[in-house]
Chain A
Amino acid sequence: MQLTQKHVEYWQKNLRLTGILLAIWFVVTFVAGYFARELNEITIIGPLGFYMGAQGALIVYVLIIVYYAKSMNAMDKEYGVHEGEDD
C-alpha cells in the first residue's frame, strides 16, 4: 500500500517524540548516575544523588511512559490511524 504524506509525518513525529523521551530517560539514569557523588552534595528530600536513584528516576520513568501513551493515542486520532473499536 502507498503511504500518504500524512502517514510519513505521523511516523516522523513519533520518532521525534521517542527521541526526546529517550533523551530524558538517558539523563535521569546515566547522567544522574555518573554524577551521583556530586549530586549528593545537594539536599532535596534526601541527598539528591541517592534520592534520584532510589525514587526520582523511577517517577520520571512512569511519567515518560504515561506521557508517551497519552500523546500517541491522541496522535493516532489526529492522523486517522487509530483503531475503530478503541474507546
Chain B
Amino acid sequence: MASASQSAFNQQLKKYYSFYTGGFVAFVVIVGILEFAGVPNKILGYIFLAATILLYAGIGFMSKTAEVSEYYVAGRRVPALFNGMATGADWMSAASFIGMAGTLYLTGYDGLAFIMGWTGGYCLVALFLAPYLRKFGQFTIPDFLGARYGGHIPRLIGVLAAIICSFVYVVAQIYGVGLITSRFTGLEFSIGVFVGLGGILVCSFLGGMKAVTWTQVAQYIILIVAYMIPVVWLSVKHTGIPIPQIVAYTTELPKVTALEKEFNDKTTPKGAAEDSVRQIFRDRVADADAKLKGLETGGTGFLAGERGKLEAKVADLKAAGADAKAIEAAEKAVKDFPADPAAAKKAWTAQKTAAAAKTAPVRAHSEPFPAKDEKARDIAKKNFLALILCLMVGTAALPHILMRFYTTPSVAEARRSVGWSLFFIFLLYFTAPALAILVKYEVYSSLVGSSFAQLPAWVSNWAAVDKTLMAITDINKDGIVQLAEITIGGDLIVLATPEIAGLPYVITGLVAAGGLAAALSTADGLLLTIANALSHDVYYKMIDPNAPTTRRILVSKTLLLVVALVAAYVTSLKPGDILFLVGAAFSLAASAFFPALVCGVFWKRANKLGAIIGMSAGLIICGYYMYLTYPFFGVNAPKWWDINPIAAGIFGIPAGFIGVIFGSLISPAPSKEVQELVDHVRYPNLEADINTSAA
C-alpha cells in the first residue's frame, strides 16, 4: 500500500474517533440530564448497557468483511497509534479494570506484582517478538511455529496451547460480563452472560479482526474515560489537585501510614478500640478451636451436645418471654447447625479462618513482604518475583496479543505500536495503585470513627446491594466504626469510587460501561484467536489446504459461534477461582510458547525436534506442577521451593528452553530454507528476499 493512502487513512481515523469521543461525552451528558430530570437509576443502567452494546454492534456491522486478510489481520493497515489502543483494550480485561485497584487495596505492595508483570511483559514483546512476527507476516502464532520448525507437529502443539490458555482466559472474561450486566440491570447472571455474548458475537462474527480492531479502539476510549473521571474527581475532593498519580504518594500515603500506626498502637484511643474488636475475634477463634477439638474427641456425641445447648437456649428465651427477634435468631442458629461431623468440621474451620483473618494488626500498605519472620518474608519475596516473571513472559506469549502485531502496515509501525500499546495500558495501570491509596485514605479517615447511626451513603448502599463487597457490623457494640469491623471485597474499590467522590449516578453507569467494554474487548480478541487457530491452522493448513476463501471464512465464523456458546456454557457453571484461572493462563502460555518463539528468531540452530520437546516439556511441567499443588485438584503435594501454583511457569519456562536446546542439539541443523527464513524475519527489508507474508 502506498504511504500516501495510508496517511490519508490515518487522518480519517483520527477524525472519526475524535467525533466518536465527542459524541460519547455528549451521550453521557444527556444521560446525566435525564438523571436530574428524575429518571430512575435502573433505567439509566439499561440505557448505558443498550447504547454501548448497540454501538459496538454498529461498528462491527460497518466493518463486515468477506476478505481473508481483512478477516484475519484487519487488512494489515492499522496505524501504530490505533493498534496501540486496540491492544490496550484487548489486553485490559475485567480483572484489570474492576479488580486491580481492589487487589492493591487489599494486599498493598505485594499486589504490585500484577502491575509490574502486566506492563513489563511488553518490553519482552517489543524486544523479542513484535517486529519479527510482523516481518514474517502471516495470520496466527501457530503459523510462525509451523513455518519456522516445519511439519504439522509444532503447529499442532501451538494450536493446542493457544486454545487452552485462551479458553481459560475467555471464561474469566465472560464471567465478568455476566457480573456487570447482572449487577447494573438486575438481569439474572446467566441472562447477563448471553446478552453480553450477543455484543461480542455481532462484532467478531461479521468482520473478524477488522471489526474487532475498530471496536476495541472505541472500547478503549470508553474504558479509559470511565476509569479516569472518578479517580481525578476523588483526588480533587481530597487534595484540590487533579493529578491522583502524584498526590497519592506525596500527601495521601504518609497519612495512610500514620493512621495504620495509630490503629496498631493500643495506647491511642483508636488503637484501643481496634484492639477490643480484635479481642472479640480472638475469642471467636478460641471458641471455634475448642469446638473443633471437642468434635475430634467427642464425635457425633459432642455435636448432639452442642445442638442441645442451642435448643435449650431457644427454650430458655421463650420461657423468659424474650423479644421475638432474639428468639428468631436463636432458632435460626439451631436450624443452621451442621447436620453431621463432616459439615461441622467444615463450618467451624471456616469460622475459625474468617475470625483469624480479623485478629491480625493492620497491614502496612507500602511495606513489601510483611511477615512474622525472616523465613516467611523470603518465601513471600521469592513468590512475588516468580509471579512477576510468569506474568511478564506470559504477556509476551499470549497469542491474542501477539496476533495484534500482524495488523500494522510495517515492521517500523509494529515497533512503534508496542510503545503505544504500553502507553495506553500504562495510563490505567499507573492510576490503579493511586486509586487504591485514595480509597484507603477515605476508609481509614472518614469511615473509621464514624457512627453506625450515620454511615456514609455509599457504605450503606453497597452493604445493602452485596454483602461480599461491603459488610459492616458493630462487633464491639460501641456504636463507632472500627477498621476490623469492615469487610471489603476488592471489586468494590472501582465500582464505588464515583459515589465516594460524591459524583452522580450517571458516572457509576459510565464505570459499569467501562468495565463492560474491558471485558467485551478482551473476550472478542480471545474468541477470535481460538476460532482462527481452529479454522486457519487446523482446517485450512492441515485438513483442506485447497479450501476456497469463502469456505475458510464460513468455517471460522461457525467455529466462533460454537466456541462462544461453549465458553458461555462453561461460564454459567460458575467455575471456581477466576484469579487462578487467569494466572494459570499466563503460566501455561509462558511455558509453551515463549521459549520456542524466541529461539525461533534468535537461534538459527533451533529445529523441529527442539521445538517439539521444548513446547511439550514446558506445557507438561507447568501443568503438572499446577496439578500437584493447586488445592482444586486435591493432590496437595509439597511445593517445590515454596513456589505457589499460580507461578508454575517458573518451572515451565526453563523446562521449555532446556527442551528446545537439548532437542535441537541432538538432531541435525535446520535446512538452508529455514535459516533463510530466520534471516528474513531479522531484517525488515533484504534485497532478493523471500516473501512469507500471506495476502
Contact = CB atoms under 8 A, between A and B. Distances in A.
A83 B412 contact: yes
A80 B320 CA distance: 96
A7 B384 contact: no
A65 B689 contact: no
A54 B433 contact: yes
Contact of A3 (B112, B385, B679): B679
B416 to A, nearest CB: 5
B250 A57 contact: no
Given A11-B682, A72-B415, A81-B684, A29 B120 contact: yes
A61 B122 contact: yes
B283 interface: no
Nearest to A25: B123
Nearest to B368: A36
A16 B102 CA distance: 40
B123 A82 contact: no
A11 to B, nearest CB: 6
A6 B423 CA distance: 33
B476 interface: no
Interface stretch (B1-9, B398-406, B502-510, B659-667): B1-9
A78 to B, nearest CB: 12
A1 B676 contact: yes
B139 to A, nearest CB: 20
B685 A69 contact: no
B319 interface: no
A87 B422 contact: no
Nearest to B252: A46
Contact of A33 (B1, B116, B248, B409): B116
Tier of interface size on chain B: 35 or more
A42 interface: no
Given A40-B368, A86-B3, A58 B123 contact: no
A85 B1 contact: yes
Task: Give the dominant DSSP class at A's interface.
Answer: helix
Contacts of A55: 245, 249, 430, 433
Contacts of B112: 50, 53-54
B635 to A, nearest CB: 30
Interface string A60-86: 011011101100110010000111111
A24 to B, nearest CB: 9
Nearest to B690: A1
A82 B412 contact: yes
B215 interface: no
Contacts of A25: 120, 123
Interface string B666-694: 00000000001001001111111110000
A3 B119 CA distance: 36
B397 interface: no
A21 B685 contact: no
B115 interface: yes
Nearest to A33: B385
A77 to B, nearest CB: 9
Interface string A27-50: 001100110110010000111011
A1 B679 contact: yes
Contacts of B388: 29-30, 33
B246 interface: yes
Contact of A45 (B249, B392, B415, B686): B249
Contacts of B120: 25, 29, 57-58, 61
B432 to A, nearest CB: 9
Given A22-B127, A72-B131, A81-B686, A62 B2 contact: no
A1 B127 contact: no
A73 B416 contact: yes
Nearest to A80: B685
A3 B51 CA distance: 56
A50 to B, nearest CB: 4
Interface in B121-172: 122-123, 126-128, 131
Contacts of B249: 45-46, 51, 54-55
B127 A21 contact: yes
Contacts of A49: 109, 366, 368
Contacts of B676: 1
Contacts of B688: 1
A81 B690 CA distance: 14
Nearest to A72: B415
B119 A76 contact: no
B419 interface: yes
Contacts of A64: 123, 126-127
B359 interface: no
Given A55-B430, A86-B3, A69 B116 contact: no
A21 B418 CA distance: 15
B594 interface: no
Contacts of B385: 30, 33-34
B249 to A, nearest CB: 3
13 contacts: A1-B679, A14-B682, A30-B388, A30-B389, A33-B385, A40-B366, A45-B246, A50-B368, A54-B434, A58-B426, A61-B426, A64-B123, A73-B416
Given A11-B682, A36-B369, A72-B412, 20 more contacts: A1-B686, A1-B690, A21-B123, A21-B127, A29-B120, A34-B385, A46-B249, A46-B253, A54-B430, A54-B434, A57-B119, A58-B430, A65-B418, A69-B415, A81-B685, A82-B412, A83-B684, A85-B1, A86-B3, A87-B7
